[in-house]
Structure 1
Amino acid sequence: MKRRLLAILMADVVGYSRRMETDRTRTIDVIRDLRERWLEPECASRGGEVLKRMGDGWIIGFPSLTDAVEAAQAVQSALNVGKDVQLRIAVHLGEVVDDGTDIYGTSLNIAARLQTEAPPGGVMISGDLHRQIDGPLASDFTEAGSFELKNIRHPVQGYQWRPFARDGQVADELPLIAVEPFVMGPGCADNADAADDLRSQMLTRLSRRTGVRVAVADSALAGSPTYLLRGRFRADADRTRLSLSLVLAASGAVLWSEDYSDTQANLFALIDKAAARADGALRVEINAHDADRIDELPDEALSAAELRARAAKFFYTAEISGYERAATLLERALRLAPGNGMALAMWGHAMTKLIECGKLDADPALIARVAQNVDAAVQAAPRSDFVFKAQADLRAGLLGDLPGARRSIERAESLNADYTLLAEVHAQIALAEGDYDAACDALTPLLEASGNDPFRHRWFFLRAFAEWLADRPEKALAAIQEATDLRPGSRALWLLLAEAQAALGQSPDAALGRAAALPAGPDIAVPFWTVAGPGADKAARFLRGLKAAETL
């Protein structure tokens, strides 16, 4: 039994299975060419030893970290010029055990998982390795985020490199949020501890996000931040007010801000509320804009993580076309990293919403595939609140399993008690059980906390729908008017507004005229959920009318 500390280079061919299906002979020639002319000779020239070949993949060990990283860069640079094949390469440092028959070690597992996150044509190295290579070489790599890797207990930090990065073709580094010391206004000296508590909570919450880096503004780690998170405390008689804002560092433009207030006696409850609300709002900003840094890159150049980021950006269009584009991106991500829990859950989320709104038929085979992928996501990423939210959506919306949906919600809440998006599933369950008051109650905190969320019109529609079913047309009208103000191009919203007006004895003609002028078709804001209770027939009539119009 031989044990060695090595720099481990892992490489595989992008799209190997598809290439084999379309042109087996050509693919075998490509693999031979890689082995004999490119990968193995370059690695051997730098002291690399082939530890294992796996059809379309290699494990190569190096005694030198620098040689391993430079070999990976040299191979990818050569293949980037006029070659019709791409590799994904990862490099990690760790112990390798060789028993003469095979090789083993946790370091091999980490390298293999990192390789699934490497950009096609690029290199991904671990944070452990990045810390140990020299400055000029380390500076070639940009931070790619931390990855929850299957069967690895702790998240692994990744740094990536592309062969064209030095030419200034793309700036793909994760954005950095610097959390500034909070400003204390007159009369707030006694609130310094509370300000420190809030700042600490925001640092902790933001550090859990995979799409950003976070640092204390006055620390060496802050560097050149992309965003600044600012806070200000003010006191007035017995009340305390605090403001939080996210500012673009380069221009000072305010991207998001929100104010909070309460009595001085409830100061720490106010801090907890502000931290939870701000965390939710910043989650939206991060998810919606993380992919901005890779806008110039084509889909085929993106890593699995970058494809997930781009898909999230399309989710936040709150449009059916965005969900369809996201699904395509996630299918590509799953070809690169088939077992990635987040990609599986995101694809399941996209399919669930497209089926719910009627864009895709509720085909039993498709629903079974969605359920299979979401179950696999739960197993692969059991520490993700979003994964259990996707499972709850699936169970409530497509499987009709309300007890199962409740269990999924409980698991998500055990991971993140402040995950406000779970309120939508609570409302869905309430409608399926005929409890319209509970549906309205569930949506209230979501609407209060979602000022910057692009799905706000959907939640106003759902609130209006529940109020209308409960025979409260005046409240239904108020909610649906909010929805049409936010999304005036949605035909279904105007039709519900007309129903509310008719129930109040008002003329619905103007709303019906607006609806008639808009194209019929499914709307991501209008799910065809099951409704029970006294309003079930009314709900069925309304939803049938929408479906009938879509088929015209």
Structure 2
Amino acid sequence: MSDKPQRRLAAIFVLDVSGFSRLMAEDEAGTLNQVLAQQQSLIAPAIRSHEGRIIKLMGDGVLAIFPSVISAVEAAAGIQAAAARNRHLQLRIGITLGEVLIAQGDIYGDDVNIAARLEALAPLGGVALSAEAYGQVRGRIPYAFEDLGLHEVKNIPEPVRVYVLSEELTSLPSLHPVAAPVKAVRAASASRRRAGGPVWLALAAFTALAAAGGGWWAAGMPGLHGAGQAASGAEQTRPLVAVLPFTAASASPELALAVTGEVIRALAAVPGLAVVAPASSRAAAGLPPDQAARLLGTEFLVSGHMPAAPLQGIRLDIRSPSGQAALPPRPQSSLSRLGPAAAADILTSFSQPLADAAAMPPVPDQALMQLLAARSNLASGRPQEARLALEQALQLAPGLTRAKVLQAELGLDLLTGPLASLPQRSAKAAQRLEGLPETPGTLRIRALAAQFSGAPDMALTHARTLERSFPNDADGHLLRAWLLQMEGQGAAAEAAYATALRLNPVPPALYRSLRASMLFDAGQEEAAVASASEALALEPRAQLAQAVLCAGLATLGRFDEAGSACAQLQAEGLTLDQAAGAFPYGAGAGPGSALQRLRTGFSLAGLPGRP
């Protein structure tokens, strides 16, 4: 992991418990328990579910960053509403939008100080926004803010205008939105009725698709430091294109987001373009073009709008350093054709060859709806609902490969599934996909299963096929980086990892977890511990990161911390052999090898078994 500081535009979120010092003086142990319970059960899950990244937990407070102000405000509103309903400790939250300097897992900059000052100005149970943050949400979310005017704040030369959201959060059992004009509501409803299909009515009920994406890891979080070196020269020559989340006049926002993901997935096999992954694309939702370009590291932006019923097509706007072009919407016969048709328009605009449309059989609209619902449920932490939706999708379309792949990924769960059965789960996932065509999902699972079965050459063969056939699959490059590092090919692993981050500059949570494993393998225990800690701050159930943290701390001689880190693994009855088995090294296990250092670390930390 590079130690070079990075600058990033982010929504900065500061939360604090009101009256903490007084409460501690009255009941130190009880107050501390309440604070920790509130952080674990309410605050951290709400931040993670809105794609936020926890930078630090500060006793009575939390510092986090979000990819957009809208996600930060929605997380804050949800936290305050739940705290009021459940009689938790009272909180204040401040949010601003600005550029931060990210270094060594922390963030710096004047805007961090502004967010802290805003938190102090927020009413009890309320949220305070700067003018910059308010400008991003005004008229776009269903909450009413009060303008408190300009305020002088400590160490900031210019006064800060403050907007607050307060009374409705604490006085009602749930948030009440600002009422939309009756005329607009009726027009939208009439338009949806004209679209006619139960397809659109059902899709309007889907939620959290913004977090569903194409990540095969079954979880996602933004904000990882850069890879240790730049992507290869050949990779850098491919123009990087970001397809930003589409908007819609009459269709549901969830449908527009879902179609955006379909467009990006349809571009996975294009060799002449590098395409930003869905998770990072969603992180730029609602940002002005210049800010989106800075966040994603590209000057090529594609935005889309559905001006009428979805089957009437998508109007595309393509922005590049040489100017801007608009493409009119093209009507389609089915929902499954919207994404490929828009992808074809994008390819034409960039003078790239078109994919063979005949090779992509249409999917019944109802089956596609269930597939999208499964992705949504999985990203929202509802695996049982996701399984049910996938079963329904396959009843409607028994040959739907994407649904079968998602079923296999759900069973695999590399991020939060138990380490003890990871080799067996990878083999079972591969068996479920036998006979299916080569897709990004099938190739990733086959590569992983081959590595766990002791066939590293076959694993890398699958990973390289994935690289050639689907050069825009960011998760494929991540997997290839991990496999290369396991085989002792450190330089090639770093190049593959850099490519993964170029395609996914605001990457999902497992990137931190696998990066921690790679760093431990390379003998960089301090950096491995830092990366594993970041992963666990975002997803406490990330067992691979927990294992790296446990072994890394022990290797560094920090035995008390290592014992605490391993306590959760020990509580689940994990043995040393089972923990080591989740790291399928194929490049030797002699004295001084990464596998031997890992086993020694586990033993020193207290896992039962012979090192």
Structure 1 and Structure 2 fold alike (TM over 0.5)? no
TM-score, L = length of structure 2? 0.37
- Higher-Rg structure is 1
| Higher RCO (C-alpha under 8 Å, 6+ residues apart) | 2
TM-score, normalised on structure 1?
0.41
